[in-house]
Structure 1
Amino acid sequence: MPGPGPETARSAPSSGSSENSDILDMKDEEGWEDAEPDEEETQFISLLDDEVFMDIHAMLNHCKQKYNFDFLEIRQRLALDFYGSVKLVNFIRSQVHSGNKVSQDISQQDLDDEKYLKPVLEDDALLFSLDDLPDVMERVQRPNGKEASNDSGELVSRVSELEGELRRIQLQFDNYRASVSETLDDRWNEKRTTGSPGAAGTEKEEERDDDSHYFSSYSYNDIHETMLKDSVRTDAYRDFIYNHKLLFAGKTILDVGCGTGILSMFCAKAGAARVIAVDNSAIIDKARENIFNNGFADKITCLRGKIEEVILPVDKVDIIVSEWMGYCLLYEAMLDSVIWARDKYLKPDGLMVPSHMNMWVAPVADPDYISDHIAFWRDVYGFDMKAMQAGIHEDAQVLNMPAATVCADPFPFLQLSLHTTTVKDLSFKQKWEGKLKSDIDALDGFIIWFDSFFMPSRDDLVPQNAKAEEWAKAGKIGIAFTTGPGGRETHWKQGVMLIDNTKVSPVNRKEGEHLAGELEYAVPEDNSRALTVGMKWQFDGNQEVSQSWKMR
């Protein structure tokens, strides 16, 4: 699911601004320390919409009048104590946040999950003001079911009971307030530590943000149009889902990085009972509209945010579907998030779609490309423009290479099984080898691609040397596609690593010569979304050579 491309520069937003400068300019503010601090007014955000009120009772009355939703009636009916009331508030807010309709018939069972003790809304004034609401009163019943009479002994007993209950609730509230305040204090202190001058007066470096550009690059139509028009990619997902409707019927599906919502709608059309579509870019708003316009709003819930941060309306899912693949498979590091979602939400017998990735490397010799794009700069209308070659061998290229340029048999250097792969597996060193298929003037570089496999059972095995372009022809189960030079063109193309022949002299090579090497994938320290590809190689009897390339 690559964005604009590794050749696009990625720069972090500036941490400075004129506003910050004005705030810190104190030369005209003598005596400011004597001023009384402004007391911040408490604001109550409506339970059911974005309206803001200065009074808790006005907010609850708004919900009652506009939505016929009586918070106090539910609280009284369920006889909720302080913790129960906290759960009720957070349950309502989580349902609204997830786009679900909240009805008056909330039951005690809805509030059983302890996760509703965690505030959904940061600094939720309602939680701090629950003690301002009328007490929950339980009606005293006789054994025969009739209400007790108001004799003095019974009333005294009831008053004593209520006083004890009030003390207990007050203690619960004090504990809850202290817990939330401690959490907020920690968060505030963390922000001060990372964003303000240190105790010694030296400024600490602002926390690096590798995600903003990544997510914003998926907010626009162009990249989604490119991916949707990649019929190799989109057909594979559609065909697997539609051909295996029994796997999806009645199931709960999680779509990580849903984009326009296309995969979620495939799942809903295949009979899924519920689909949760998550994306952290603004495209989620269009996905929600697409889903509504196609009649799936009752089945698909759209959530905006990082999968690691959003609160799902379910504890576990049956299937995770995601189009997470980047250039050279791992560029942009989206698989890290998919693995996190798998470990947290997928049932033990759940299915990952796709399920397997086979990664391939091959040496290439392409004198025409070298002449047209590298040597070209040495003679441009009679002028030497070699300055334009600066950095040309430092970055990986994303190109569709002709199959004829592959000068040795491709080597399957790694397989990822998505049901078991860990984040640690994504940084690696792998050996590879091959023999030249023909004479070449020079070894010009290497290409990397991947094959995707969609298997209907987590127990299905895919050989590491299985080629996707041969999978269907062999009558194998599931769906597979390749991004390599031997298949139909995809928007992933291939990652091309050009050898810097200013440092490695080009040498004629003969058919049958053996070469071997080691390929390394690493994440650079300055950008967790980028990728560094390292390569060591040598022909028999020759000195080992090494070079690295960046995808950024």
Structure 2
Amino acid sequence: MSAANTMNPPVGERFPDSHSVSDSSDTSNEEGWEDVEPEEESQPVIGLFSDHEYPDARSMLKECKEKFNFDLLKIQKDLDLDFLDSIKLVNYVRTEVKNGNKTPDVSSKSKFEDDAYLKPVLEDDALLYSLDDLTEEQGEESTPSAQTNREVTELQEQLEQLQNQFSEYRIAVQKSMDDQLSKEDEKLAEATPKPSAHAIDRLQEADDGYFVSYAYNAIHESMLKDAVRTDSYRDFVYENKHVFKDKVVLDVGCGTGILSMFCAKAGAKKVIAVDNSNIIDRAKEIVHDNGLGDVITCIRGKIEEVTLPVEKVDIIISEWMGYGLLFEAMFDSVIYARDRYLVPGGLMAPSHATLRLAPFADPDFIASHISFWNNVYGFKMDSMLHKIYDEAVVRSNQPATVVGESQIFLTLPLHTITVEELSFLKEFQVTLDQDIDALDGWAIWFDIFFMPSRESILPENAIPSEMSKKGVVSFTTGPHGTETHWQQTILLIDHAKDNAKQGSQALKKGQVITGKVGYEKTEKGSRGVDISVQWESDAGEKGIQLWSLQ
């Protein structure tokens, strides 16, 4: 991971969620809710089953009823849904549709009772703002006669109840945000200046803390001691000195400056090292101490904001990879640097990355990580299991825990890929290579390739060990290779959840599992990643689940 835009917060720590629904009767001065003040003119409503925009919620729901046989108001009435239930229903349907299921099961309130569905799927979802109006109109339609004083009173009471529910929803979301922020590392909190409450929003605070974390030695020591990582960059640069000779190189997220110094030693004419952490001060000293100050220029700041001393560069080198490859969102900055500064035909190092997924089974880990809480020195601690399946686990695994061949579900050609392509839903198919008592989860890792030319083509199912035999510098972060500080990302399946209806079951060697895996930023501007997997085996086991990598 690179020092410009990557960090390693504890698993489970989350950045604040900006998606929220504001109380239409109380939107005054509560911090964190200013940006959701109700507007005078109505907002378009996004369809539940399509990306089509409708002028209002009524027209959208009418088309849902006619085209998709989905009557939201009838479901509200039949299931006796209150306001929060209706919020969950909308977000549940949007989640299912987003994952490819256009016929979500709404036969019971239990299908969407999880509080996770309080979090809006769409930012500023106008349908959520309209739910109270729709409910009120439904009440009016059921009593078409002239309004009596009693009916007016009942409607006022209903409106007051809805407003109270709106406040409860807002408070619940706010509490969740506060709980997440309270988990920040105490040491990091002490090192970060406390901004005034009205000066910087919470997301900005998290971003600032992210860069502060890279001012400490420990994280750079961990990266430099990762021989797989550092040796690969060194080998590529030194084995291709003819590529770097007399070139202008940009190092995005330079950290201690190690990659910049490799390039300078390989004959680069000029190297520009950029980092937004205080580590840049150490990098300047290191560059000077090694007599490379006439070649390497160190600049403090975000690559999106600094002014470089050159118009264009010939090569961009960066170690931008995070857990699960895309955690920390540093690659967004590398893409910006590529589009802004790289000359036509210029080289990206590395040039390609691939993401792999494989079925995972490890009864010993499940026993130590999950079952452990059922009996701790004779005491039940089941409450510690709350949301334990919602978080991705970063750990190093034995090859035996991978119970089927891995499959590449995304290839990233660094010369052409866009930021938009980093949010995706891709199909996969894997075959078990052994009998297992249960499918415990999914293992995700990435492979990195350094092709010496922009025109070099990466084979469709590139394997680092095979590519290395052909002289291509590459490495894997998978369990079959030498351990790296990235380890693997494990997504544990919650077989007790309603979305895995059959529960855990034994599977046989040769059985095929198909499905889809998706990545999406936890929220706009966040460095976290939400990972979803939906799957089905030819033995009938199926499920769908969402994990957060924070």
TM-score with structure 2 setting the length: 0.64
* AA partner of residue 547 (structure 1): Q
Alignment match, 1:514: 512
Q: How does 1:290-309 map to 2 (within 5 A)?
A: 290-309=286-305
Q: How does 1:178-217 map to 2 (within 5 A)?
A: 206=201, 208-209=203-204, 210-217=206-213
Contact 1:400–1:494 under 8 Å retained in 2? yes
Distance 1:217 1:228, change over 3 A: same
The residue matched to 1:387 in structure 2 has which SS?
A: helix
Alignment match, 1:33: none
The residue matched to 2:242 in structure 1 has which SS?
A: helix
Alignment match, 2:416: 420
* AA partner of residue 269 (structure 1): K
Distance 2:226 2:350 in 1: 16
State the Cα distance separating 1:516 from its structure 2 match: 0.6
- Alignment partner of 1:461 is 2:457: yes
State the Cα distance separating 1:252 from its structure 2 match: 0.5
State the Cα distance separating 1:6 from its structure 2 match: 5.0
The residue matched to 1:343 in structure 2 has which SS?
A: helix
State the Cα distance separating 1:415 from its structure 2 match: 0.5
- Alignment partner of 1:239 is 2:235: yes
- Alignment partner of 1:550 is 2:545: no
Within the candidate set 7, 11, 23, 2:11 is matched to 7
State the Cα distance separating 1:9 from its structure 2 match: 2.4
Contact 1:308–1:337 under 8 Å retained in 2? yes
Distance 2:470 2:458 in 1: 10
The residue matched to 1:456 in structure 2 has which SS?
A: coil
* AA partner of residue 483 (structure 1): T
Structure 1 unaligned blocks of 5 or more? 13-194, 198-202
* AA partner of residue 413 (structure 1): F
State the Cα distance separating 1:543 from its structure 2 match: 5.7
Contact 1:414–1:464 under 8 Å retained in 2? no
State the Cα distance separating 1:399 from its structure 2 match: 0.7
Distance 2:525 2:381 in 1: 31
* AA partner of residue 432 (structure 2): L
Distance 1:407 1:196, change over 3 A: closer
* AA partner of residue 461 (structure 2): N
State the Cα distance separating 1:528 from its structure 2 match: 1.7
The residue matched to 1:324 in structure 2 has which SS?
A: coil
* AA partner of residue 488 (structure 1): T
Distance 1:392 1:230 in 2: 29
Alignment match, 1:20: none
**What is the aligned-residue RMSD (CA, Å)?**
2.2
- Greater Cα radius of gyration, structure 1 or 2: 1
* AA partner of residue 217 (structure 2): N
Alignment match, 1:485: 479
Contact 1:358–1:465 under 8 Å retained in 2? no
Contact 2:349–2:450 under 8 Å retained in 1? yes
* AA partner of residue 506 (structure 2): N
Distance 2:548 2:333 in 1: 22
Contact 1:484–1:493 under 8 Å retained in 2? yes
Contact 2:505–2:541 under 8 Å retained in 1? no
State the Cα distance separating 1:242 from its structure 2 match: 0.4
State the Cα distance separating 1:206 from its structure 2 match: 4.3
Cα deviation code 1:337-379 (max 9, x no counterpart): 0000000100101100000001100011100111111101111
* AA partner of residue 208 (structure 1): L
Aligned residues: 365
* AA partner of residue 9 (structure 1): E
Within the candidate set 374, 380, 383, 2:379 is matched to 383
The residue matched to 1:236 in structure 2 has which SS?
A: helix
Distance 1:407 1:550, change over 3 A: same
- Alignment partner of 1:392 is 2:396: no
State the Cα distance separating 1:245 from its structure 2 match: 0.5
Alignment match, 1:500: 494
The residue matched to 1:537 in structure 2 has which SS?
A: strand
Contact 2:15–2:528 under 8 Å retained in 1? no
Within the candidate set 311, 316, 340, 2:312 is matched to 316
Cα deviation code 1:124-180 (max 9, x no counterpart): xxxxxxxxxxxxxxxxxxxxxxxxxxxxxxxxxxxxxxxxxxxxxxxxxxxxxxxxx
Percent identical among aligned pairs is 53
State the Cα distance separating 1:540 from its structure 2 match: 1.6
Distance 1:239 1:393, change over 3 A: same
Distance 1:9 1:376 in 2: 22
Q: How does 1:38-187 map to 2 (within 5 A)?
A: none
State the Cα distance separating 1:478 from its structure 2 match: 2.4
State the Cα distance separating 1:470 from its structure 2 match: 2.4
Distance 2:13 2:409 in 1: 29
Alignment match, 2:282: 286
Distance 1:359 1:413 in 2: 6
Alignment match, 1:533: 531
Contact 1:396–1:498 under 8 Å retained in 2? yes
State the Cα distance separating 1:5 from its structure 2 match: 3.7
Cα deviation code 1:75-108 (max 9, x no counterpart): xxxxxxxxxxxxxxxxxxxxxxxxxxxxxxxxxx
* AA partner of residue 233 (structure 1): R
Distance 1:340 1:330, change over 3 A: same
State the Cα distance separating 1:469 from its structure 2 match: 2.3
Distance 1:478 1:4 in 2: 29
State the Cα distance separating 1:382 from its structure 2 match: 1.6
The residue matched to 1:211 in structure 2 has which SS?
A: helix
Distance 1:522 1:411, change over 3 A: same
Distance 1:404 1:435 in 2: 15
The residue matched to 1:208 in structure 2 has which SS?
A: helix
The residue matched to 1:404 in structure 2 has which SS?
A: helix
* AA partner of residue 532 (structure 1): D
Contact 1:215–1:281 under 8 Å retained in 2? yes
Cα deviation code 1:230-285 (max 9, x no counterpart): 00000000000001111111110000000000000000011111000000010000
Contact 1:256–1:307 under 8 Å retained in 2? yes
Distance 1:438 1:10 in 2: 36
Distance 1:490 1:269 in 2: 26
Contact 1:7–1:395 under 8 Å retained in 2? yes
Alignment match, 1:327: 323
TM-score with structure 1 setting the length: 0.64
Alignment match, 1:407: 403
Distance 1:363 1:435 in 2: 8
Distance 1:439 1:343, change over 3 A: same
Cα deviation code 1:286-331 (max 9, x no counterpart): 0001000000011100000000000000000010000000001000
Distance 1:366 1:267 in 2: 43
Contact 2:449–2:474 under 8 Å retained in 1? yes
Alignment match, 2:130: none
* AA partner of residue 513 (structure 1): Q
State the Cα distance separating 1:464 from its structure 2 match: 3.0
Distance 1:331 1:383, change over 3 A: same
**Using CA pairs below 8 Å that are at least 6 residues apart, which structure has the higher relative contact order?**
2
Alignment match, 2:427: 431
Contact 1:257–1:323 under 8 Å retained in 2? yes
Distance 1:243 1:390, change over 3 A: same
Distance 2:246 2:365 in 1: 52
* AA partner of residue 494 (structure 2): D
Within the candidate set 521, 524, 530, 1:523 is matched to 521
* AA partner of residue 482 (structure 1): T
Alignment match, 1:339: 335
The residue matched to 1:276 in structure 2 has which SS?
A: strand
Distance 1:467 1:453 in 2: 9
Distance 1:457 1:10 in 2: 39
The residue matched to 1:341 in structure 2 has which SS?
A: helix
